[in-house]
Structure formats: structure tokens, C-alpha cells
Amino acid sequence: MNSIKVLDKEFVPYLSEKEIQEKITVLAMQLNKDYAGKRPIFLSILNGSFLFTADLFKQITIEAEVCFIKLASYKGMSSSGNVITAIGLEANVSGRDIIILEDIIDTGKTLHHYLPQLLSSGPASVKIAVLLNKKEALQFPVQVDYTCFDIPNKFVVGYGLDYDGLGRNSKDIYQLK
């Protein structure tokens, strides 16, 4: 693997396609076991999680559903940490077992703000599965139940994750040089 340039920034190889796919296989096997007979709903948070969701869901062998929502956070001078739902939840989650799929947990702000909204719809259970977990960066209490990789607090791109909209279409994950 070689370094790549996305816009003005240089990124170095960090996690290979092979490593990523291996971890996803392990996670899928665990979820197949933990949710057997429960018909869970995988709730994927767009945009970053689309490849993670697709690769994981292909390896789910139990009865399961998948749906998507899009959350966006306002960034700006007056940022009060507001998270808006840009595409909402269509599925009826009442009484259902939900597994949230996130590409990366950074400060935890996005999920910390969204979870009460989801819980108010009365799911039977909610667990969080993430591809990447920047543990040191966590500022808002969020309990992550399944993690593929714990990573340091450095900006990454690839495999669904973008830098200013670009870089998502890479099979490997790169770290800012």
C-alpha cells in the first residue's frame, strides 16, 4: 500500500482491506450468535457506514432487517452540539432489537444526541457496533458494545470515511500523515 493524497492532505496506509474484512467477519459471527432467533434491525448511520454495513450485512446469516438514517451535526461558531436527523427512521422499532452501525465513534456527540430519540420509540434493546473506536476522543457518554478496531485520535479516511466528501471509495483505511 502506498500513501494517497486527498485534496490538500497526505494519508498513509493504516488498515488494509484484508484486516478490515477479517474483523467484520468476526463481528458478523458474534452477532449471528448473539441475535439468533431475535430478528434484529441493523440501523446504519449514513453516510460513512454504508460500506461497513454492506460488508457486515452480507455475512449475517440469521433473520435480520436493515435500515438507514442520516444524522448531521451543526458545526459552527454557535455550535451547541446540535445533531439533526437529515433522513429519519422509517422502520417501526417498537419492541424490536436494534443494532446501530457506525463507521467511527469520535467524540460520541452524534450518538449521544440521537439515542434518546431512538429510545423514545420503545425498542426492546439497543446496542452499538462500530468499525472504528477513537476511545481517547470520547467526550459524551456512549456505551459501545461491539468494536472492530480501537484506533488513536488521528483523522482517518477510506472505506466509507471521507475527507471533505472524498476518499470514501477506498478499500483500505488511511491515516493523516
Instruction: Locate 64 and state its grid cell.
Output: 435480520
Measure the CA–CA gap between 49 and 42, rounded to whole angstroms.
Answer: 11
* Binding of ligand 5GP by 104 (CB under 6 A): yes
Mark the segment that binds ligand 5GP (CB under 6 A) among 15-23, 55-63, 116-124, 154-162: 154-162
Which of 161, 170, 173, 174 touches ligand 5GP by CB under 6 A? Answer: 161
Q: How many residues bind ligand 5GP (CB under 6 A)?
A: 16
* Binding of ligand 5GP by 97 (CB under 6 A): no
* In the complex, minimum distance from the CB of residue 84 to ligand 5GP, in angstroms, rounded to a whole number: 13
Amino acid of residue 128: I
> Given strand 125-133, what is the order of strands in its sheet?
83-87, 65-73, 41-46, 97-105, 125-133, 146-150
Q: How far apart are the first and last CA of the chain?
A: 14
* Binding of ligand 5GP by 107 (CB under 6 A): yes
Query: Does residue 20 contact residue 172 with C-beta atoms inside 8 Å?
Result: yes
Measure the CA–CA gap between 166 and 161, rounded to whole angstroms.
Answer: 8
Which of 13, 40, 34 minimizes the C-alpha distance to 145?
34
Q: Is 97 a catalytic residue?
A: no
* In the complex, minimum distance from the CB of residue 145 to ligand 5GP, in angstroms, rounded to a whole number: 15
* In the complex, minimum distance from the CB of residue 15 to ligand 5GP, in angstroms, rounded to a whole number: 12
* In the complex, minimum distance from the CB of residue 63 to Mg ion, in angstroms, rounded to a whole number: 27
Instruction: Locate 79 and state its grid cell.
Output: 455550535
Query: Between 21 and 107, whose beta carbon lies closer to Mg ion?
Result: 107
x/- map, 54-93, ligand 5GP, by CB under 6 A: ----------------------------------------
Residues tagged active-site: 106
